[in-house]
Amino acid sequence: MSFFDRKPVLTDDADFVVVGTGAGGATAARVLSESGFSVVMLEEGAYLKPEDRPRELVDAMAVAVRGMATLATDSLVPMPLLQGSCVGGSTAINSGIIWRMPEDVREVWAREWGLSGLTDHKLDSAFDYIEDALAVGPTDVAIAGGNNELMQRAAEKLGLPGKVIARNAKGCEGNQRCLQGCPIGARQSMEISYVPAAMANGARLHTRCRANKVRFEGARAVGVTGTLRDENERELGTFEIRARRGVIVAASVFGTPLLLNRSGVRHPLLGERFQAHPGAAFVGAFDEPVHMGFGASQGYEIPMRDRGFKMEALALPPDMLAARLPGAGKAWQERVSKLGHYAQWGCLARMEAKGRVRAGLFDGVSVRYEPTESDLAIVREALLLVGKLMFAAGAHEVYPGIASVPEIVKTEEDLVRLMPEKLKRADVHLVASHLFGTACASSDPKRGVVDEHLEVHGRPGLFVMDASIFPTNLGVNPQHSIMGVTHIAATALAERSAARQVA
């Protein structure tokens, strides 16, 4: 049998095929399966049981983080882009932070993008439902840990509007292993919550399946084809899943536009309007023990949305924390021996920059994205405030990690004096973890790839339900907004499909 004659080793069919099991895909699968439709979920990565998630970072990242967190923008000053690559998507590696979509964003989406159906009162009901389903609540002080407690004290000292982070964690023991994967399944990420719920409703999950193309009959989407792979990306065969009612693409801001493009969907905005919340962080050395190894990975934040940023406590695994400490050799080893005396707090900026995503030679994807001068000014302001917080909390040394500032700063006055008036892109190590756009939604077919029902304009039966459809970034953590918007769109889709069935 020749390459071109080979038959798929996996075939299946269902009312709906969902590509991707992150916040969007898992929500769509759960809602549709609860409405009585048969659903097949396809996931490129593996399913990781909580007890199988390694504590050691290199092993944990190998199975759960795309490209070991080395996927980066195409630039002389590349910016790493963080994404999950297992069942649960990025919800399987995030800190479970839950924020409702801010009112100002909802207004803009409704007014400028014609998306009032996704942002009206139904969104509040969806948030209520999701918060109950994910046991959302404030971080308990008992498991807050020193990194969060110190930031709270600093915020109170400086009179900043800090708040305890609301998270989707149930029975969190403060293992500080959100990034590696919660070993007790406390964080209600999608592989713990929504994916099993969908499977309990009869949905089927196929893992290590990379979708290559959406199949069409005429303009209508009728299925998905792709390849089965082993853990080392070796191809094992092909699959073909037939969809009787629709295909839902939720393959992330990178995977979604590339899959649509490979499938022949053409739109000038496909892959465009890529947006993010890039961030940077300071490490502070304290006389008091902080013991970052215990506590919620992220339990305290200071939102400053009117200034375009938010600050967060962000505990690091020991490997990353040690790598972040300045120096090499004896001085560095002395610092590492006191690894329990450091705190790390960072900032995320709601940047105005817009980039684009294309198929690329390296790693299959090429991302162009450059922060503007105004974005960097926001980062500068935020980092300066992070430094002030650290000194207010009693840090005796702060390690800014900014090229034009000394590696070790000992006073707030020095920090203010040494911080450049204008931050250059190459001065600061930015990482982006909240990613948006690339298949944005609008009721106007000229302004959006998908419509207000999240159906691709001119392609009946093909839907996009992930952060790709966001016409703007949010300024807050996106998981809840992705789930809320998907909940509404999937519920409406189920109602329309049920009505058609009756008719």
Partner 1 sequence: MTTASIALPPLRLTRLETFWASLVLPSFAGASFAEGEAGFTIGPTEVDYLEGLRRFMAKASDKACLGIRFAFLLAITTPMWLGGRMKGFASLTPTERSELLDRMSRHRIFFVRELCLLLKLIACLAIFRTPGTRERTDYDGPEPARRAAGMRRSLPVLSRSIPHESGAFPTGEQSPTQKDSEPPAASARMTAGGAR
Residue written as tokens 């006191």? 338
Buried b (16+ CB within 10 A) or exposed e, 171-194: ebbbbbbbbbbbbebbbbbbbbbb
Of the residues 267, 341, 434, 487, only one is catalytic, namely 434
The token pair at 333 is 């080893």
The token pair at 493 is 């889709």
Q: How far is the CB of 362 from partner 1 (least distance, A)?
A: 5
Written in H, E and C, the secondary structure of 462-498 is EEECCHHHCCCCCCCCCHHHHHHHHHHHHHHHHHHHH
Q: How far is the CB of 292 from partner 1 (least distance, A)?
A: 6
The token pair at 424 is 């250059």
Report the DSSP beta bridge partners of residue 215. 223
Q: Which is nearer to partner 1, 206 or 244 (CB)?
A: 206
Helix (H) or strand (E) holding 227: strand 220-229
How far is residue 313 from each of residues 227, 230, 369, measured CA to CA in Å?
40, 37, 26
The phi, psi pair for 320, rounded to 5°, reads -70, -40
User: Are residues 125 and 31 in contact, defined by beta-carbon separation less than 8 angstroms?
Assistant: no
User: Are residues 224 and 218 in contact, defined by beta-carbon separation less than 8 angstroms?
Assistant: no
Rounded Cα distance between 29 and 404, Å, is: 49
Name the residue among 414, 396, 386 with its Cα closest to residue 288: 396
Q: Which is nearer to partner 1, 205 or 456 (CB)?
A: 205
Q: How far is the CB of 60 from partner 1 (least distance, A)?
A: 10
Q: Which is nearer to partner 1, 31 or 57 (CB)?
A: 57
Q: Which is nearer to partner 1, 365 or 439 (CB)?
A: 365
The gap from C-alpha 492 to its chain's centroid, in whole angstroms, comes to: 25
Is residue 434 part of the annotated active site? The answer reads yes
Residue 404, amino acid: S
Rounded Cα distance between 184 and 172, Å, is: 8
Rounded Cα distance between 60 and 76, Å, is: 29
Rounded Cα distance between 298 and 154, Å, is: 16
Q: How far is the CB of 322 from partner 1 (least distance, A)?
A: 5
Q: Which is nearer to partner 1, 332 or 414 (CB)?
A: 332
Q: How far is the CB of 390 from partner 1 (least distance, A)?
A: 13
Rounded Cα distance between 484 and 121, Å, is: 11
Q: Which is nearer to partner 1, 49 or 417 (CB)?
A: 49
Q: Which is nearer to partner 1, 105 or 467 (CB)?
A: 105
Residues annotated catalytic, as ranges:
434
